[in-house]
Amino acid sequence: MLVNLKKILAPAYEKHYAVGSFNCYSYETFRGCIAAGEEMGAPVIAAFGAAYLANMSLETAHAIAASLAREADVPVCLHLDHCSEIDVICRAIKAGFGSVMYDGSALPFAENVANTRAVCRAAHACGVSVEAELGSLGVGVDSHEGRAEDVEQYTDPEAARDFIAATEVDALAVSIGTVHGLYKGKPYIRTDILEEIHRAVDVPLVLHGGSGTPEEDLRACIARGIAKINVNTEISSAVVAQTTQLLTREKPHYSTLSLRQVDYVKTVVKKYIELFECR
């Protein structure tokens, strides 16, 4: 069943576990993500990034997610990820997405507040949840999000408190040392900053850049208010690597290859569901 983000994150935030947000941009990724949640008895967030509009339309993404979610007995949220274009966000709301992320993190604080507040008013009137972002992540290896020129900027706890009060956003993505993609060196996750943010705000916090983040760091983040963790690159890397290995051994029919790729997606998603302790 499709639900909005708030319905999934509220219990996670209260009970100190996290829900995985897994990027979906093809039938195989949607099916693998949702099937993993069903097999594990856990809610999942199918995140369709605005960067993947070349792969399929918002309407097609919703049609696939809705069809698969109808057959699942766990909550599924179809979420528009990392979108800075308000017209695209409005189209996603109209298409039936249960959650949208307005990413104004590159804008001056006042402009980010004004735009996020406008998105929240429109989305909330339709029963749709809103995620926003303060601070910015750096770009690691094999990233398919962000820009090469992005510079890491940690989220300021006081700014986070003021931002949430002014916008009434449902979830806030923070920057504490994770990266989009895979790390170039040893990760240094600022859980001290996260703890300050957690004390300053009263909404679920979101960690982007879950791929490759050490398990102990993820657990520490969950204990400090992170209720949603995004995973993208690790799924892509695993599917490409395993598909390459498969094709060196055999030449399956394309329909069989698709089913194998669903399984590859499921394996990574189930690993993170187990780690996030959301069952």
Over the stretch 93-119, which tens digit does the pLDDT of each residue have? Answer: 999 999 999 999 989 999 999 999 999
In order of 167, 192, 208, the CA distances from 23 in angstroms are 26, 28, 11
Indicate the range of 70-79, 116-125, 194-203, 212-221 predicted with least confidence: 212-221
Q: Which residues pair with 182 in a beta bridge?
A: 141
Q: First and final CA of the chain: distance in angstroms?
A: 17
When comparing pLDDT for 54 and 143, which is higher? 54
Q: Could you identify the residue written with the tokens 């679920």?
A: 204
- For the residues 126-131, what does the mean pLDDT come to? 98
Mean pLDDT taken over the chain? 90
pLDDT at residue 178 greater than cutoff 80: no
In order of 86, 189, 253, the CA distances from 137 in angstroms are 21, 12, 40
pTM higher than the cut 0.95: no
Q: What is the CA radius of gyration of the chain?
A: 18
Q: Could you identify the residue written with the tokens 């790390």?
A: 183
Q: Could you identify the residue written with the tokens 């696939």?
A: 64
Question: Helix, strand or coil for residue 215?
Answer: helix
Which DSSP string do the residues of 258-275 spell out, in sequence order? Answer: HHHHHHHHHHHHHHHHHH
- For the residues 3-13, what does the mean pLDDT come to? 97
pLDDT at residue 138 greater than cutoff 80: no
Q: Give the pairing type, strands 138-139 and 99-102.
A: unpaired
If you ran DSSP here, which 8-state letter would residue 50 be given? G
Hey, which of 60-69, 104-113, 143-152, 216-225 has the most confident mean pLDDT? 60-69
pLDDT at residue 279 greater than cutoff 60: no
CA dist., res. 150 & res. 73, Å (int): 39
Is 221:191 a contact under the CB 8 Å cutoff?
A: yes
- For the residues 43-57, what does the mean pLDDT come to? 96
Where exactly are the structural domains of the chain? Answer: 5-276
**Confidence label for 267 from pLDDT (cuts 50, 70 and 90):** very high
**Confidence label for 214 from pLDDT (cuts 50, 70 and 90):** confident
Is 189:209 a contact under the CB 8 Å cutoff?
A: no
Q: What percentage of the chain exceeds 90 in pLDDT?
A: 81
Q: What percentage of the chain exceeds 70 in pLDDT?
A: 90
What is the per-residue pLDDT for 149? 44
What is the per-residue pLDDT for 50? 92
What backbone phi and psi angles, to 5 degrees, belong to 267? -60, -45
- For the residues 20-43, what does the mean pLDDT come to? 97
Active site (catalytic) residues? 81
CA dist., res. 147 & res. 210, Å (int): 17
Best CATH choice for the domain 5-276 from the list 3.40.640.10, 3.20.20.70, 3.20.190.10, 2.40.128.20: 3.20.20.70
What is the per-residue pLDDT for 268? 97
- For the residues 130-146, what does the mean pLDDT come to? 62
231, 132, 200, 14: CA torsion to nearest 10: -60
What backbone phi and psi angles, to 5 degrees, belong to 103? -105, 95
pLDDT at residue 159 greater than cutoff 60: yes
pLDDT at residue 146 greater than cutoff 50: no
**Confidence label for 125 from pLDDT (cuts 50, 70 and 90):** very high
CA dist., res. 233 & res. 231, Å (int): 7
